[in-house]
Structure formats: structure tokens, C-alpha cells
Amino acid sequence: MARLRSNWEKELASIDKTLLDLLNRRASLFQAHSGDPGVSKRLGKSQDLIEHRAGPFPKAAAKRVFREIGRGMGELTLGETVAFLGPEATFTHVAALVHFGEKAQTVPCESIDEVFHQVEEGLTGYGVVPIENTMEGIVHHTLDMLLESSLLIVGEVQIPIDHHLLSRAGSLGEIREVFSHPQALAQCRDWLGEHLPGVTLKEVASTAAAARRARRTKRGAAVASQWAAKRYGLPILAHKIDKMGQNITRFLLLGRKGAPPSAHDKTSIVFSVRDEVGALHGMLAPFARHSINLTRIESRPSRQKPWEYHFFIDLEGYSGDPPIRKALAELERSCQFLKHLGSYPRAKLG
């Protein structure tokens, strides 16, 4: 019996060694092709194999194993990979490049949810999502995801939104259709009506998608950024056609670890209050007592109970600063729910 036990123990040890060797081979392959923009996105697809494999190992456990493998692979280039709401040359992509540099490895995602997923699973080191625009207001889905996610806000970027008319056409008179995101078309409607009357306006998913469409025809044009013009090789026929004053979008940088304090910080929190008279006023009182400046308050309906709300607040300072620490402690004692979303450097206009 002792000899048999020794044999299976040796076999287990051999299998474990093989597993480690294979993980190292996988890591080497990942590092060798880390410049491929889609490599991080493909890591998660390995879990699809589990659905079509037979064996005694529990499926749920196998999924957890592959999830941890994905996180481990992501850590090899954690500080270099950035998920963003794509495709390339959208303003979210621009925000990622402005903050992380044009050499950063960026991973386009089809939705805000996917950006959060990429960072949560360790497939990328950071994520970039839009949070608010001076013309269109808050991005509510980003707020909802912040409430549910374990990720922290580690920074922010502000990008001026300048819309240009891009086209392969030789002149405005040759253009028959204009593509862009609905918001971009709305912001440029006056200029388009004056200079391209009667031209068909076609809505697409993003300004970058519009540039791709315009590139395929000499009779089409796109309302998009100068980054899209550069990325897709399109001349700019008309500059700054939105004519709407300051059009700025703020983007959040997401990470799994909090940012260290800097000289000019901002803290974001979310909390809910009891359903009683003066409840919100009472929740805000600690900030007044400790002379803390609130820069934004936004409410969102609670998904747990009708007519209850969560309040998202931005305030000046770092969460570890004594006045803020005291105010948050007082708030936590009296509110129903409190979540710290992150402390991070305040953005300068990019």
C-alpha cells in the first residue's frame, strides 16, 4: 500500500510540475504577443472551452481557475494595458492616450460594462469610461456600474470635444450624406443645415465609426475628431463645426488599487438616506461642519426599493485628510449605506 501511495503522489507531483510549466509557456506566449491590441480580450475566451470539455473536475472550479490565470497574465503588463469604450479614435480612446501616452497598449470595448469587466478580471490594468459632458450631462450607466463594481476611481481626464467635418470629397458640394453619433449630429445641426442643406444625416454608433464609413466613399462625410481624421486618413474639410461654446467631456480612470495622495485631490462617494424629513440635509451637514467643499451632487434611483435614491458626491480633498475622514465617519453613522468610490488627482483640461 505504501508503494502504491508513493506512486500516485509522484504522479500528482509530475502533473503539478507540468501545469506550472504550461503556465510559464502561456505567460511567455502572452508576453511575446502583448503588442497585439486584442490579446487581452482573447484571454477571457479560454473559459469558453470549459463548456465543451468532459471530466470530473467541477465546471465552476474550472472557471475560477481560468479567471485567476487571466488575472495572472494581465499582471505581466498590468501598468501598460488600458481598456476603453471603443472603437479606436473615439473621444474615450483620446482620453486614454492623453493620460497614459500614445505608446500605451489600449483595448477597445463595445460597452461600459465590458470596460469594467476587463479591469475587474485583471485582463487590463486600467479602464477609461465617460462620466459627464457639459452639454449632455451625466452618463448614468457609469454611475450604476460604479455602485456595483469593486473598482476604484484612480484619476480623471477632461477632453474638449471639437467636431470637424471629415471627407474624401474635394468640396462640400460633392457630399451627399453625413455620418456621426446622434449627439454629434445634434451639436452640429445648425452648421450642417447652413452649409450642407438637403444632405442626408445618418446616425452611427460613434464618431469613429462615422469616420470608417466616410472613408469608404467620396460622397460621404463624417462629423468626428481630428484624432479620427488622423487614424483613418481623412482630410478635414471644415474645422470646429459644432459652434456651441465649451463642449467638454470628463472621463474616469478605473483601477483595482487606489491612487496615492497628490497636491490637488478629489474624493468620490455614494450613499443612501433614510426616508424621513430633512434626511439629505442631515447627511450633508458633516461636510459643512468640517469646511469641505462639495463639487458635484447627483442622484440615482435605487434598484432595491421604489422611490429611494443613491446620492453620488464629489468633494475636494483626499479621503485620508483629517477633516474628510471625520466627516465621512459622521456620515457613515447616520446614513443607510456609504461607499467610497476613490480619491484621485483632479483633472486639468486636456
Phi, psi (5° rounding) for residue 208?
A: -70, -40
| Residue 337: active-site member | no
Q: Is 95 within 8 Å of 128 (Cβ atoms)?
A: yes
Sheet holding 220-224, edge to edge: 200-203, 177-180, 220-224, 164-167, 236-238
- Active-site residue, selected from the candidate residues 249, 267, 271, 312: 249
- Active-site residue, selected from the candidate residues 30, 100, 179, 251: 251
Q: What is the largest CA-CA distance in the chain?
A: 91
Residue for grid cell 478629489: 266
Q: Give the residue among 301, 320, 298, 317 at the shortest CA–CA distance from 309.
A: 301
Alpha carbon distance 339, 153 (integer Å): 12
Q: Give the residue among 206, 195, 175 at the shortest CA–CA distance from 241.
A: 195
Alpha carbon distance 251, 159 (integer Å): 8
Instruction: Give 130's strand partners.
Output: 251
Q: Is 24 within 8 Å of 17 (Cβ atoms)?
A: no
| Residue 100: active-site member | no
Alpha carbon distance 283, 273 (integer Å): 8
**Residues classed as catalytic:** 249, 251
